[in-house]
Structure 1
Amino acid sequence: MNRFLTDAKIIQAELGEIRRDLHRHPETGMTETRTARIVADYLKGLGLSVREGVGGTGVVGLLYGQRKTRTVAFRADMDALPMTDRTAGEHRSRIDGKAHACGHDGHTAMLLGAAALLRRGAETLEGNVKFIFQPSEERLPGGALPMIRDGVLDTPRVDGLFTCHVHPGVPQGSVMVTPGYCTVSSAGFTLEVIGKGGHVALPHQAVDPIVMAADCINAAQTIISRRTDPLDSIILAFGTIHGGTANNIIPDTVTLEGTIRALSPKQRDRVVAMFRETVEATARKHGGDFRLDVRMEYPSVYNALGMVSILREAAAKVVGASRVICTERPFMGGEDVAYFHERIPGAFWFMGTGNPDMGFDHPLHSPLFDFDETVLSLGAAIHAQCAADFLSATVVPRVPGAETRRQGCEASRNRP
């Protein structure tokens, strides 16, 4: 058995206790004071150098190795979601309207476990290890940029970053990673369709924004189905629609909210432009008007190929090569770890938690999402193995340039 996994199994119960405690006491973006205190106290107990209040409620632990010429970092997000927890068991959330439904409690416990594993063999490490516990991944504008502005990647300068996220769509105990672009670049929008209110008995004297809004929704569907390459990973979706006060009144306005997601910022911006053109033409056809507010959200996460190679080899040492999945299919969610990857080479990967036999097959952000805690020791061991392998590597991966990223995007579009 892998030496890190052997040690991780020894602290499995401890990691489970930490995870359940965090699950019972979830804290949303930039309010993770209790979580941050637990993290900082644990790291201090290991003898690590600890910075608190980084970028808000972030915590950074630093473990110095035998040589200090190279530094590898790991990032775990700490925040919960503003929703009700419907999981069973004694670890169910005790805070109304807050739940760890995206596994960040597990991410935090895994990384604390990795810190414990690496602390035991610090004298053999060929460099430094930085443990980044980030607030507010779920809440825009995210916690990554505030931590970066607070110098999280400096002193010592970070040379590479690994980030794990649990995933119920991947079999429990397996690892999945996507080289190149692995998440999408997203934009949120608010569309106000402006008509002219009136009585439903006199529709010719009004401009019906409800009909106009319905037409906008239908017209927008052709942007993806008829105006973009079928091989491109693009989403245009409406999430909310609000309008009207009574069944016999044509309202003045209808407000819609939604999201646009694409594999690259260039694709995203092109769809945004087409959406604006479509809405303008639809409003003009009905004799109405519109206001469209588009908010650029997280950029795409780009996995550096060299970092992916290190991750795959390290994971194979822990779970076996047959359980390491390399896919070209991107995850259509957004992640602010992208801001780290814009500055340093990184690998963002998934730890599989899917286990239908145990009832652990609910998707991320479901009020029923949960997982088998045995994956905590696996994640901790993989983190530790990645650190050892990165620090002993002959060549350190570099941040890919714009041309390399473009080629990676084209390659993903042309996949079979």
Structure 2
Amino acid sequence: MPFKPFTSLIDLVPHEADLARLRYQLHSHPELAFSENQTSDLVAAHLRDYGYEVHRGIAETGVVGTLSIGDGCRTIGIRADLDALPICEANTFAHASKHPGRMHACGHDGHTAMLLGAAKQLAQNRCFNGTVNLIFQPAEERGFDSGAKQMIAEGLFERFPCDAVFAMHNHPGKPAGTFMFRSGAFMAAGDRVFIKIVGQGGHAARPHLAHDPVVAASSIVMALQTVVARNVDPTKSAVVTVGKIAGGDAPNVIPGQVELSLSVRSFDPEVRDLLKDRIIALVHAQAKSFDVDATIDYVEGYPVVRNSDEETRFAVEVARELVGRDAVNDSMDMLMGSEDFAYMLQERPGCFLRIGNGPADQGRTLHSPNYDFNNENLAVGAAFWSRLAERYLNLDR
């Protein structure tokens, strides 16, 4: 069989308009975690058209497309995420969400379009010897019991063996079409804490007859700021953020309860345990001092994203071949955000990488109602995935 060249960027540039139309279709019809039915249908239909063997119903709405060429035994897995967020889109362009309260505010529409673009290129070029498993995963945004965790529990890697796995996420604030990598710990573990402060409500003019949960909750919020500052080794990273405080309905009424919601981030397992212990102890101690009760639901979320050295070096090499050395950062700073691809990296060696999404001005950051994925990335991302798979499944060339 004559040698075919590996995919280059010029191979995908002619398909940019088609990829953009595909992304617009996905963006305008966002679906939330484990409800990505229309999205799953679209992905499956495209994969079948390209000649893939399609497997559905994995983690409810997940899709895996497999394609084997030649007699090679090597296998690779590449993941894209399908779900959107419960956000009301503020954009007014033609492809804005048609479903109020749901929006692709994290770029999963772009991630899916890039991988489908690669799927088509791989099937047409057929320049590899082995098996490609394209994993379209639901419910990345859920925060706990996510799509990656459920797919693995349902036998993802037993059914679709992968010698290595890879995934990509866009990164506003870095130039479009540039790549960022980091070996080892890259993104933080993320836990969520739900606290209910229960007191005794009463009249605002007679606070001595009540046990005010608002005052107690306010003190807890301030006390939580000391957990990282005074308990965690300053050479290690951690974040405790109170993202929600809710209680009361009127200025002249002391409510009976207040609810707090926290986001807790860390990299070190010992720090993660320390944060949990200190938060629980501090909340109960503060509540007792105000003569109120506290209940705590501490939900362990995604683990740390840890990229394996060999697979990261390989992905960096492929990116440099594709876009040049100057457009590739192989030692990006660690990020305090979390990502459920971490579960897959616990099962198989691999690499999670970032691709720049252009300026983050006018509030166009991730999870913003003004966000939109940058179409300049579509051909670049599809070409990268294609070349990565081809190179990985042709390491003897």
Smaller-chain TM-score range? over 0.9
CA–CA distance in structure 1, aligned partners of residues 7 and 300 of structure 2 = 44
| Deviations 1:130-186 (CA, angstroms, capped at 9, x unpaired) | 100111111242111222233322344111011011111222111011211111111
Q: Give the total of aligned pairs.
A: 391
CA distance 1:3–1:67, change in 2 (3 Å) = same
What's the offset of the Cα at 1:197? 2.7
CA distance 1:26–1:187, change in 2 (3 Å) = same
Number of the residue aligned with 2:383: 381
The answer (yes or no) to whether the contact 1:355–1:361 under 8 Å persists in 2 is no
Number of the residue aligned with 1:99: 103
Aligned AA for 2:383? A
| Deviations 1:355-406 (CA, angstroms, capped at 9, x unpaired) | 36xx687110101111331210000111112112222336xxxxxxxxxxxx
The answer (yes or no) to whether the contact 1:2–1:317 under 8 Å persists in 2 is no
CA distance 1:221–1:199, change in 2 (3 Å) = same
Aligned positions of 1:196-235 closer than 5 A: 196-235=200-239
Aligned AA for 2:228? I
CA–CA distance in structure 2, aligned partners of residues 19 and 200 of structure 1 = 53
Number of the residue aligned with 1:133: 136
What's the offset of the Cα at 1:231? 3.0
Moved more, 216-225 or 144-153: 144-153
The answer (yes or no) to whether the contact 2:76–2:389 under 8 Å persists in 1 is yes
The answer (yes or no) to whether the contact 1:78–1:134 under 8 Å persists in 2 is yes
Aligned AA for 2:263? T
CA–CA distance in structure 1, aligned partners of residues 6 and 394 of structure 2 = 17
What is the aligned counterpart of 1:364 among 360, 363, 366?
366
1:85 partnered with 2:89 = yes
CA–CA distance in structure 1, aligned partners of residues 292 and 51 of structure 2 = 65
How much identity, in percent, do the aligned residues show?
38
1:113 partnered with 2:144 = no
What is the aligned counterpart of 1:34 among 12, 35, 38?
38
After superposing on structure 2, the runs of 4+ consecutive aligned residues of structure 1 that deviate more than 6 Å are none
SS of the residue corresponding to residue 327 of structure 1 reads coil
TM-score by length of 1: 0.89
| Deviations 1:99-136 (CA, angstroms, capped at 9, x unpaired) | 111100000010011111111232x3132111001111
CA–CA distance in structure 2, aligned partners of residues 367 and 201 of structure 1 = 41
Structure 1: gaps of 5 or more residues: 395-416
What's the offset of the Cα at 1:20? 0.7
Structure 2: gaps of 5 or more residues: none
What's the offset of the Cα at 1:236? 0.6
CA–CA distance in structure 2, aligned partners of residues 169 and 81 of structure 1 = 21
CA–CA distance in structure 2, aligned partners of residues 166 and 352 of structure 1 = 6
CA–CA distance in structure 2, aligned partners of residues 210 and 233 of structure 1 = 30
CA distance 1:193–1:77, change in 2 (3 Å) = same
Number of the residue aligned with 1:354: 358
Number of the residue aligned with 2:336: 332
What is the aligned counterpart of 2:17 among 13, 23, 39?
13
What's the offset of the Cα at 1:326? 2.2
CA–CA distance in structure 1, aligned partners of residues 159 and 284 of structure 2 = 50
CA–CA distance in structure 1, aligned partners of residues 150 and 232 of structure 2 = 35
1:181 partnered with 2:223 = no
CA–CA distance in structure 1, aligned partners of residues 376 and 206 of structure 2 = 65
Aligned positions of 1:55-94 closer than 5 A: 55-94=59-98
CA–CA distance in structure 2, aligned partners of residues 360 and 344 of structure 1 = 39
CA distance 1:172–1:66, change in 2 (3 Å) = same
What's the offset of the Cα at 1:287? 2.5
Number of the residue aligned with 1:345: 349
1:157 partnered with 2:161 = yes
Moved more, 280-289 or 51-60: 280-289
CA distance 1:286–1:361, change in 2 (3 Å) = closer
CA–CA distance in structure 2, aligned partners of residues 251 and 91 of structure 1 = 44
CA distance 1:203–1:155, change in 2 (3 Å) = closer
1:391 partnered with 2:393 = yes
The answer (yes or no) to whether the contact 1:360–1:369 under 8 Å persists in 2 is no
Moved more, 147-156 or 171-180: 147-156
The answer (yes or no) to whether the contact 1:79–1:138 under 8 Å persists in 2 is yes
Aligned AA for 2:276? V
CA distance 1:67–1:279, change in 2 (3 Å) = same
Aligned AA for 2:109? D
The answer (yes or no) to whether the contact 1:102–1:364 under 8 Å persists in 2 is yes
TM-score by length of 2: 0.94
CA distance 1:360–1:68, change in 2 (3 Å) = farther
CA distance 1:266–1:245, change in 2 (3 Å) = same
The answer (yes or no) to whether the contact 1:67–1:128 under 8 Å persists in 2 is no
The answer (yes or no) to whether the contact 1:76–1:163 under 8 Å persists in 2 is yes
RMSD: 1.9
What is the aligned counterpart of 1:274 among 260, 269, 278?
278
SS of the residue corresponding to residue 331 of structure 1 reads coil
| Deviations 1:63-87 (CA, angstroms, capped at 9, x unpaired) | 1022331100100001111111122
SS of the residue corresponding to residue 155 of structure 2 reads coil
